[in-house]
Structure 1
Amino acid sequence: MPTPAIDNHETSRLRRLSFVLKSCVFATGCAAIVTEYTLATLASYLLGDSILQWSIVISLMLFSMGLGSRYSRKFESQLLDRFVLTEFGLSFLCTFSAMFCFWISAYTIHTGLVIYGVACMIGFMIGLEIPLITRINQAYEPLRENISSVMEFDYYGALLGGALFAFVLLPFLGLTYTPVLLGGLNLLVVSLVLWYFPDRLARPRIFKAQFAGLLVASVLAFAVAKPIILHGEQHKYKDKIVYEEQTRYQKIVVTQWKDDYWLFINGSTQFSTYDEERYHEPLVHPLMGLIEERKDILLLGGGDGLAAREILKYPDVKNLTLVDLDPAMTQLARKNDIFIGINQGSLNDPRVRVVNQDAYQFINNSGDLYDAIIVDLPDPKSVSLSLLYSLGFYKMVEKHLKPFGAMVTQSTSPLYSPEAFLCIKKTMEFAGFSTLPYQNSIPSMGQWGWVLGVRQKAMPAQRLKQDLTALEFADIETRFLNRDAMISMVHFGKGLFEKEDIIEPNTQFDHNILKYYRQGSWDLY
């Protein structure tokens, strides 16, 4: 009959082994959620339309996890060996997933199918993990504790993984090294199994050799990840990449051709030095020329400093508040020699205050009033961006204008997305503005539009048009804009405003602009 001391020792041993298994679950839960987010972010970057890509990738992975969970019932023996093989497979796929997708994107237009296929394979293997661990752990815990504790550790790991992805992995390791780290995490799980359960493995020596091989592969992956990904990215852009950074919020890429530079954010053109004056001068100077007092200016967006450069040409500007979500973008504009040369050091001007915050939250919480508010934000491609073109947003902007203040917003393309352009105009009018839409041809971007607004009680729309077309811009140094250009920009051809009656304004609840924007002819862009 065993002594109590032996029973206590065996109980302690079983608890320790069970804890090791649950630690493996914690690690795999952490790796699983980060893998899902990484692949969804990768798909968004390479394919665009982040909401669609996140929905597809996460759904495919969850479905594949279900298939993997169902398939695990076919395993009747050597469960720990099968778990180790699963982790080996996940380690390999996670480590090389981003590298392979970036590399293959240079040679095929079917990158989406590749990403979805990788997501399904990884999802299938993740689906094997929990059933296998639960069945292995039943030797150490009763059923009610086994299932609840395994799921508990998996969910805790997922929480940690989500936080790490948002605050550490994506901002600091990006899509280059995060997958490699995930592969290493799966290898860490295998190392725990090899250390604590060698007697329960049928082929421990083979597994140790495989472990060593994958460990070497992971180290090599760290060395070759960046050049491979840059090779794939370089094929995405026509010109040489001279700067790239994955921030917490976006992917920033700068390319160079001869003496000109292009800025891309998440693959979309933001400006080219070849013709950026055709965008930034119409954005700033019609509004600044219209208002009589220009002491306090608010710029929402424009973290590259180019719009700020134009605003600071007015000597009576005393305070310019620039609100941009991404501190990496404003730091680049402040410190990078390329950007300082383009924006003429505008963000280092003592009159400029940079606030790294969401524009909607800033305007909602601010108590300041401004002579002019210039909105230079990305197109309404997502629900979060749609809020920045909503009726509620424009009403908040109106409340932050001084009595004779005015606003202007970039309004996407009246050629490629005329419904979205008209939606912005109508939404501003519903918010109490008299509006004047205008457009310009920008070779690197196509036909682009803006909508300028003043309070309806301050000036009717017809008077607004008359005053703007009378501006000479003689006292401001410009490369493109003059009176003739202004007169040209406020005129549109037939067929655009005839459809304005059927356009609905954009609100926080229906997001009509998102629908209009997605209906645009962006495949021709």
Structure 2
Amino acid sequence: MSGAATGRRGAAPLRWARPLLLAAVGVCAACGLVYELVLLTLSASLVGGGITETSLIVAGFVAALGAGALLVKPLLGHSATVFVAVEILLGVVGGLSAVTLYVSFSFYGTSAAVLVGATAVIGILVGAEVPLLMTLLQSGRSGIDARTSGRVLADLNAADYAGALLGGLAWPFVLLPLAGQVRGAALTGMVNLAAAAVVAAFLLREQMGVGARRAATAALLAAAVLLGVLLVRAHDIEVTARQRLYADPVVVAEQSAYQQIVLTERSGDVRLYLDGDLQFSSLDEYRYTEALVHPVLAADPERVLVLGGGDGLAAREALRHPSVREVVQVDLDPAVLDLARTRLAELNGGSLTDPRVQVIAADAFTWLRGPAARGFDAVVVDMPDPDTPALGRLYSTEFYGLVGAALNPGGLMSVQAGSPYSTPTAYWRTISTIGSAGLAATPYHVHVPSFGDWGFALARPGGPPPALTLSGQAPPMRFLDEAVLQAAAVFPRDRLPQPLPPSTLDRPLVVDDTRHGYVGR
């Protein structure tokens, strides 16, 4: 084999070269998996990637691995030089993947082509690593038999899988929460370059010619400078790209462990976006919040459960009702709850710091299965639209069954159910799903200027569907009264009820309904 470490100078370090090369295998595997997770994360945050998008990325990545393994076969005679070149390219392409996808989406409204290209290129480069490393691990060995080859392959696979585990843990628990998507990918690229530099400097220098070593050194330095500039300028790039996504100035931007949180403000209009989806506008949120909350308080409840609604607006309205003695607020994201206690405190009336409110940062589905989820007179379900599988489970038969079990006899549940105009199938699917859980539902809708025609459901376990009415103790409201509420139960002929199969954990139909509805607007 060309360049094999067969001479005296190449034989001396074999005792420590092998473990160091296997360590490099683990590092490279960790970087490769992080790059794939970057693509999956960006697919979800930029285009609401669902099961189809995730499956295509994973399948495309795996197919590209095979293509890379085949494409590198003619180059195995120069395994050392090619391996270093592959790692440099992988560090650059992977390190730049997040910022390229983000900027292309911000400026052009789509990143599908870049996503497909990045998946293919990164997959091919990662796929080329194993044949190259297998060749390098056997370099300089004579008389290799089947058993020896098997041991080498076992060592290589063990290092590769251990590195993949490290990368799988590093992305969600370290890189994403601490560095964000753009910096996290760039830092991973720098690690990839460092691994290539160590391999080139200490392990493969006897297998590479002088010209190849100089070229590799220059390429490594250029790649490191490029990623270093990205790390330094990442904030400016993100701010510029992010601002193009929003009509109003961005005043808060944070990537939490669960989602991207953006708050904008212009001329007193405060808007909250989660993963790019508008949650409310302060100019008209009272229409939405009053319509969601006050019908469920018609029976003058004392204990109210709010699921979702981390902005504190639903809790604000519940606390205005004189009969309410306790509100339990359950929301997944502590970062949203912190924002509600600080920047949104004036808008929500300081509801989440009120002594009558118990705030719990937890997954609503999981929390409902615990012993504390009992004895409520009213439940407000204020979840984001189900445009991802993770959110679709919160619009399932199983979820509404758990909510029904949390209610006292005679208790009521209200649900934000999306737009009967923009996503009619998703809306009526939600109504059918509530019914499949043994709750009788009354659909209704109001006009919210920021959202358009927006729909809700009022439901209770057993019996006929509940009447839409307001309590005699209801506080004065800016929008809702009995006449508006009665009119809200009337649907026009082009948006009449649709009897549909329910959405379940096994078949989250509402996710595709929501996504297709928006596409067809």
| Alpha carbons of structure 1 residues 12 and 286: separation in structure 2 relative to 1, 3 Å | farther
Residue matched to 1:506 = 503
| Alpha carbons of structure 1 residues 473 and 260: separation in structure 2 relative to 1, 3 Å | farther
| Alpha carbons of structure 1 residues 104 and 434: separation in structure 2 relative to 1, 3 Å | closer
Residue matched to 2:6 = none
Identity of counterpart residues, as a percentage?
32
Of 313, 321, 333, the match for 1:314? 321
Q: Give runs of aligned pairs for residues 14-413 of structure 1, distance below 5 A.
A: 14-139=14-139, 142-197=148-203, 198-202=205-209, 203-288=212-297, 290-292=298-300, 294-335=301-342, 337=343, 339-367=344-372, 368-413=374-419
| Alpha carbons of structure 1 residues 106 and 392: separation in structure 2 relative to 1, 3 Å | closer
2:76·2:135 contact (CA, 8 Å) conserved in 1?
Answer: no
CA distance in 1, matches of 2:221, 2:251: 37
Measure how far apart 1:37 and its partner are.
0.7
Residues 57-115 of structure 1, C-alpha deviations (whole Å, 9 max, x = no match):
22222222211111110114221111111111111112222222222334324421022
Residue matched to 1:4 = none
Runs of 5+ in structure 1 lacking a partner?
1-8
CA distance in 2, matches of 1:391, 1:361: 15
Secondary structure at 2:403 match in 1: helix
Secondary structure at 2:320 match in 1: coil
263-272 or 425-434, larger mean C-alpha shift: 425-434
- 1:483 and 2:482 aligned: yes
CA distance in 2, matches of 1:140, 1:282: 76
Runs of 5+ in structure 2 lacking a partner?
1-8, 142-147
Measure how far apart 1:31 and its partner are.
0.5
How many residues were matched structurally?
503
Measure how far apart 1:11 and its partner are.
8.4
CA distance in 2, matches of 1:258, 1:319: 35
Alignment RMSD, CA only?
A: 2.1
CA distance in 1, matches of 2:35, 2:167: 9
472-481 or 43-52, larger mean C-alpha shift: 472-481
State the AA in 2 paired with 1:353.
Q
CA distance in 2, matches of 1:260, 1:109: 24
| Alpha carbons of structure 1 residues 306 and 498: separation in structure 2 relative to 1, 3 Å | closer
CA distance in 2, matches of 1:49, 1:390: 19
Residue matched to 1:452 = 458
Secondary structure at 1:342 match in 2: coil
State the AA in 1 paired with 2:480.
L
State the AA in 2 paired with 1:218.
L
CA distance in 2, matches of 1:218, 1:519: 38
CA distance in 2, matches of 1:165, 1:432: 41
182-191 or 419-428, larger mean C-alpha shift: 419-428
1:416·1:522 contact (CA, 8 Å) conserved in 2?
Answer: no
| Alpha carbons of structure 1 residues 12 and 317: separation in structure 2 relative to 1, 3 Å | farther
Measure how far apart 1:475 and its partner are.
4.3
Measure how far apart 1:380 and its partner are.
2.1
CA distance in 2, matches of 1:260, 1:245: 19
Measure how far apart 1:516 and its partner are.
3.3
State the AA in 2 paired with 1:127.
G
Measure how far apart 1:49 and its partner are.
3.1
State the TM-score, normalizing by the size of structure 2. 0.92
State the AA in 1 paired with 2:273.
F
